[in-house]
Amino acid sequence: MKLRAIKVNSARSEQGGWVKDIAGFPGVRLLVRGFESEAFKLALSRRQLAVTNDDREDGKPGGAVKPKVTERLFGLAMADAILLDWDGIEGEDDQPIPYSRELAEQYLTDPDFRLFREAVALAGTLVESETDARVEAALGNSPAA
């Protein structure tokens, strides 16, 4: 195994990069940061600190957060810090849906859009991969890339 096969690009994880050719999402590109970025860690931490006792299994401070709440927090943190833009997402009328932070939050927290959340999660993992061809091909960071 070559050492570069296990090396990540921490700078790209922090700054973000376009990822395309995501399985099940033909023609879609996602501008994402990595999950190891400081922005994501901070966003998730802030969201977790705001959890009320009502959202905990035992209703007490420090108790385990309910699974549905954890899933929502993760989606919100992804909207806060992972997903920065998209290209190639269309509505039922075949018109492009422009990225907005509000739509990102809606799609990343809606259980019915779980496949989209999983695609963003995959892209957030791939963006810091030093050798991933999908990231390398999209490094121009422009829709035409």
The 3-class SS string of 57-74 reads CCCCCCCCECHHHHHHHH
Is residue 1 situated within a structural domain? no
139-144: list long-range contacts, CB under 8 Å, 24+ apart.
Answer: 139/17, 139/18, 140/18, 141/17, 141/18, 141/31, 143/29, 143/87
Is residue 55 situated within a structural domain? yes
Task: Tell me the mean pLDDT in the region 97-108.
Answer: 97
Q: What is the pTM of this model?
A: 0.83
pLDDT at 5: 74
Alpha-carbon gap, residue 58 to 120, rounded angstroms: 32
pLDDT at 36: 94
Task: Tell me the mean pLDDT in the region 44-71.
Answer: 90
DSSP structural state of residue 11? H
Count the domains in the chain: 1
Q: Which domain holds residue 58?
A: 9-20+28-137
Is residue 98 situated within a structural domain? yes
Q: What are phi and psi of 56, to 5 degrees?
A: -110, 145
pLDDT at 145: 46
Q: Is 36 helix (H, G, I), strand (E, B) or coil?
A: coil
Instruction: Pull the structure tokens for residue 20.
Output: 């395309």
Is residue 34 situated within a structural domain? yes
Closest residue by Cα to residue 97 from 113, 74, 78, 111: 113
Is residue 3 situated within a structural domain? no
Is residue 131 situated within a structural domain? yes
